């Protein structure tokens, strides 16, 4: 019996067997590939890139969408540009950054003044409208602000951020507490949507806090100051049976046990050149002792851009076999599918998963 996309995804989210391995999409950052899949001209694409992208993912045969990447302009493929990308310097002096943190409301004030009903109305309307556009594809956008937050370098720049984390413990601790309060508020919105059947029982979240050499901050510091906030921020999701799936960039291994102890139920990625391989990851278990939910594992660095279609098919089969009985798999990529990935490899990845 052929399952609808939502049923196929939910089966895996609940640890059950689907009719075949479900597939996520949304991270193709190449307008030419999207146009080819949808059979659309560049003029049609730029007139409504969201609509054309949805048509492309329908044609490709995925089950759900994490996002839809639209480039900043016709001459680019990235969804960020020089004005929106994170820089070392934010324009703030260290003194200005510290003063800004001191002026932030307390975590208690953030939660006390959070207008849940008003925020949920906006969140709900966005989900309903986009799901209507997606049709049978499940719209399950990543929720990067849910849970907690440690990557404040986007606000303060890398230089100020690391100086604060390393040299100003009072402000550093307040930032992490503020991130935990904000993340819990966002998790509450998602939890309500899950209860109302508007969001599935898994959500992609997480932070880019690791490089290829490991975490940007010491694991001991993160265990002491960040883990309590993440644990607190994930509670609303876990209470309604929604599995937080952590985005793994770089070498996440030194903090992986901490993340799982905080309540993370799944992982998305991975970069095999950093030691994050599917063979190693499936050995891990949640804090409750259950199998992990995996969104992955096709690498956009060492596999999709440089392998042949048949090699990609073999990697998909390997992932499915390794996960069988050891983890619950939804096929996805480690990160953005850039123009260096041949369209034939994208097709091969999806076609092979639909066979299994």
What burial letters (b/e) apply to 195-232, b meaning 16+ CB within 10 Å?
eeeebbbbbbbbbbbbeeebbbbebebbeebbbebbbb
pLDDT tens digits for 345-354? 999 999 999 9
Q: Token digits for 54? A: 């949805």
Measured CA to CA, the distance from residue 165 to residue 169 in angstroms comes to 7
Mean pLDDT (the chain) is: 95
pLDDT for res 75: 77
What's phi and psi for 262, nearest 5 deg? -80, -15
Measured CA to CA, the distance from residue 17 to residue 10 in angstroms comes to 10
Q: Are 176 and 183 in contact (CB under 8 A)?
A: no
pLDDT for res 285: 98
The residue with tokens 């095999």 is 272
Q: Are 293 and 265 in contact (CB under 8 A)?
A: yes
pLDDT tens digits for 179-192? 999 999 999 999 99
Q: Where are the domains of the chain?
A: 86-201+214-242
Q: Are 77 and 92 in contact (CB under 8 A)?
A: no
Q: Are 97 and 89 in contact (CB under 8 A)?
A: no
DSSP state of 288: T
| Across 6-26, average pLDDT | 97
| Across 296-322, average pLDDT | 97
Question: Among residues of the chain, what percentage have pLDDT more than 90?
Answer: 91
| Across 123-148, average pLDDT | 98
Angle separating helix axes 94-103 and 153-167, nearest 10 degrees: 100
pLDDT tens digits for 73-118? 787 776 655 566 566 677 899 999 999 999 999 999 999 999 999 9
Whether the model pTM is above 0.85: yes
The residue with tokens 């975490």 is 215
The candidate with the shortest Cα–Cα distance to 68, out of 47, 85, 86, 54, is 54
Measured CA to CA, the distance from residue 307 to residue 303 in angstroms comes to 5
Rounded to 10 degrees, the C-alpha dihedral 159/165/171/172 comes to 130
Looking at the DSSP bridge assignments, the partners of residue 211 are: 214
């Amino acid at each position: 019996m052929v399952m609808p996309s939502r049923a196929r995804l939910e089966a895996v989210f609940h640890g059950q067997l689907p009719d075949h391995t479900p597939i996520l999409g949304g991270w193709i950052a190449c307008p030419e590939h999207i146009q080819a899949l949808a059979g659309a001209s560049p003029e049609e694409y730029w007139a409504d890139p969201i609509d054309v992208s949805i048509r492309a993912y329908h044609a490709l045969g995925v089950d759900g969408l994490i996002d839809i990447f639209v480039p900043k302009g016709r001459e680019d493929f990235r969804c960020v540009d020089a004005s929106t990308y994170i820089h070392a310097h934010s324009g703030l002096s260290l003194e200005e950054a510290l003063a800004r943190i001191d002026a932030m409301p307390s975590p208690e004030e953030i939660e006390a003044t959070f207008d849940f009903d008003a925020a949920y109305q906006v969140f709900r309307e966005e989900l309903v409208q986009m799901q209507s556009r997606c049709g049978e594809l499940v719209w399950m956008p990543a929720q990067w602000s849910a849970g907690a937050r440690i990557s404040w370098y986007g606000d303060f720049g890398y230089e100020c951020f690391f100086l604060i984390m390393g040299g100003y413990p009072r402000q550093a601790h307040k930032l992490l507490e503020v991130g935990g309060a904000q993340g819990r508020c966002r998790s509450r919105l998602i939890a309500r949507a899950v209860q109302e059947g508007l969001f599935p029982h898994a959500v992609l979240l997480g932070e880019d806090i690791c490089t290829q050499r490991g975490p940007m901050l010491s694991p001991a510091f993160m265990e002491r100051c960040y883990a309590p906030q993440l644990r607190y921020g994930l509670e609303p999701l876990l209470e309604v049976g929604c599995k937080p799936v952590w985005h793994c960039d770089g070498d996440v291994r030194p903090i992986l046990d901490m993340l799982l102890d905080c309540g993370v139920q799944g992982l998305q990625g991975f970069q095999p050149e950093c030691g994050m391989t599917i063979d190693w990851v499936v050995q891990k278990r949640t804090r409750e002792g259950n199998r992990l939910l995996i969104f992955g594992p096709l690498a956009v660095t060492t596999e999709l851009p440089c392998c042949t279609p048949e090699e990609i098919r073999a990697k998909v089969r390997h992932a499915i076999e390794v996960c069988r009985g050891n983890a619950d798999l939804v096929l996805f990529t480690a990160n953005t599918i850039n123009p260096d990935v041949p369209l034939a490899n994208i097709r091969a990845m999806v076609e092979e998963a639909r066979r299994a």
